[in-house]
C-alpha cells in the first residue's frame, strides 16, 4: 500500500512568487496535516483538513492557505514568498477524526522549498 | 493548551552506549504520546506510541519509552545505540478527542564510534 506522497520533492522559488505543494494521503485516510520544519525550529503546525474542511490552523499568516479535494488529497499554497519560508514542508495523514482507531499520523517525505 | 518540551537540543553518545531522550508534555487529561524519528532528508517514522495500559511501551528498532504521569514525562530509551540511530527524534502529544498533534522541537542524536 502506498504511503503518503508529496510533490514536488524540491521546489525553488524567488521572493514574492507563489508556491503550491501537493499531498496524497494514504488510501482511506481523510485527515491531512501540514507542518513546516524550518532549520532549528522543529515542526510547526500549519493546517489540518478533515473530510474536505479546514479544522484548524496554526499561527501562520493568511498567505499560507490550502484546501482538500474530494479525493482527500491536499494542496498547500504559500503566496508572496519570503526568504524565511524556506523549509521542509511535511504532510501527514490519518484516519477520520471520529474514527476510534485514529491515533496515528503517517508522514510523507516532505517538499523542500527554497526561496531565493 | 497542549505542549511538548524536549530539553535536549543535541545529544552525542558512543556506539553501544545506552540512550535516554527526554520528553515532557503539558496536557489536562491522559494524552496520546508518540516518538518519531527523522533521518536526514526523510519524513518522520513512528517509533512507538502510548495510548493507555502498560506504561512501558516497546517500539521498533529496540526503542522503548515509559509514561510517567506524575512527572508528565515520556522518555525514550535504548540500551545499546547503533550508528544507524543517528537522526532527529521528535516527541509528540495528541489529544484523545481530536487529531491535533503537537510536536517538540526535536533532539538531534549523534553517534560516535
Asked if residue A23 lies in contact with residue A76, where contact means CB atoms within 8 angstroms, the answer is yes
B86/B82 Cα distance (integer angstroms) = 8
Mean pLDDT taken over chain A: 91
State the residue for C-alpha cell 550508528.
B83
Instruction: Test A104 with B102 for CB contact under 8 angstroms.
Output: no
Confidence (pLDDT) at A79: 97
Q: What Rg, from alpha-carbon coordinates, does chain A have? A: 14
Q: What DSSP designation does A74 have?
A: E
Count of pairs with CB atoms under 8 A, one residue in A, one in B? 50
Confidence (pLDDT) at B2: 74
**Mean pLDDT for the stretch of residues A7-27:** 97
Asked if residue B48 lies in contact with residue B65, where contact means CB atoms within 8 angstroms, the answer is yes
pLDDT-derived band at B71 (thresholds 50, 70, 90) equals very high
A36/B105 Cα distance (integer angstroms) = 12
Q: Which of A106, A101, A33, A45 is nearest to B4 (CA)?
A: A45
Residue B12, pLDDT above cutoff 80: yes
Chain centroid to CA B15: how far?
19
Compute how many other C-beta atoms are within 10 angstroms of the C-beta atom of residue B40: 7
State the residue for C-alpha cell 514568498.
A81
Residue A13, pLDDT above cutoff 60: yes
Compute how many other C-beta atoms are within 10 angstroms of the C-beta atom of residue A52: 13
B97/A104 Cα distance (integer angstroms) = 13
Q: Is A32 on the interface with B (CB under 8 A)?
A: no
Compute how many other C-beta atoms are within 10 angstroms of the C-beta atom of residue B2: 16
Confidence (pLDDT) at A2: 78
pLDDT in tens, B96-109: 655 567 889 899 99
Instruction: Test A42 with B34 for CB contact under 8 angstroms.
Output: no
Confidence (pLDDT) at B38: 92
List phi, psi (to 5°) of B71: -105, 0
Q: Is B31 on the interface with A (CB under 8 A)?
A: no
pLDDT-derived band at A14 (thresholds 50, 70, 90) equals very high
User: Degrees (nearest 5) of the Cα angle A11, A73, B103?
Assistant: 70
Instruction: Test A90 with B43 for CB contact under 8 angstroms.
Output: yes
A110/A37 Cα distance (integer angstroms) = 9
SS3 A9: coil
Instruction: Test A50 with B99 for CB contact under 8 angstroms.
Output: yes
Instruction: Test B101 with A56 for CB contact under 8 angstroms.
Output: no
Asked if residue B83 lies in contact with residue B15, where contact means CB atoms within 8 angstroms, the answer is yes
Q: Is A23 on the interface with B (CB under 8 A)?
A: no
Confidence (pLDDT) at A101: 59
SS3 A26: coil
HSE (side-chain half, CA atoms, 13 Å) at B104? 30
Residue B73, pLDDT above cutoff 80: yes
pLDDT in tens, A60-112: 999 999 999 999 999 999 999 999 999 999 999 988 766 655 667 889 999 99
Amino acid at each position: 500500500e502506498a504511503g503518503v506522497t508529496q510533490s514536488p520533492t524540491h521546489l525553488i522559488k524567488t521572493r514574492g512568487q507563489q508556491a503550491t505543494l501537493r499531498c496524497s494521503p494514504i488510501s482511506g485516510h481523510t485527515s491531512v496535516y501540514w507542518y513546516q520544519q524550518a532549520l532549528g525550529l522543529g515542526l510547526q503546525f500549519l493546517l489540518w483538513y478533515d473530510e474536505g474542511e479546514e479544522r484548524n490552523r496554526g499561527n501562520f499568516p493568511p498567505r499560507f492557505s490550502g484546501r482538500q479535494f474530494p479525493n482527500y488529497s491536499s494542496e498547500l499554497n504559500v503566496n508572496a514568498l519570503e526568504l524565511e519560508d524556506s523549509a521542509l514542508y511535511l504532510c501527514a495523514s490519518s484516519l477520520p477524526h471520529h474514527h476510534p482507531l485514529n491515533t496515528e499520523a503517517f508522514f510523507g517525505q516532505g517538499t523542500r522549498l527554497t526561496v531565493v | 493548551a497542549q505542549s511538548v518540551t524536549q530539553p535536549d537540543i543535541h545529544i552525542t553518545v558512543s556506539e553501544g552506549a545506552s540512550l535516554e531522550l527526554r520528553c515532557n508534555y503539558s496536557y489536562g487529561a491522559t494524552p496520546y504520546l508518540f516518538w518519531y524519528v527523522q533521518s536526514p532528508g526523510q519524513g518522520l517514522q513512528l517509533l512507538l506510541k502510548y495510548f493507555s495500559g502498560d506504561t512501558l511501551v516497546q517500539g521498533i528498532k529496540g526503542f522503548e519509552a515509559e509514561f510517567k504521569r506524575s512527572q508528565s514525562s515520556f522518555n525514550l530509551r535504548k540500551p545499546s545505540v547503533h550508528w544507524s540511530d543517528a537522526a532527529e527524534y521528535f516527541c509528540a502529544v495528541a489529544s484523545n478527542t481530536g487529531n491535533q498533534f503537537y510536536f517538540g522541537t526535536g533532539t538531534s542524536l549523534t553517534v560516535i564510534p
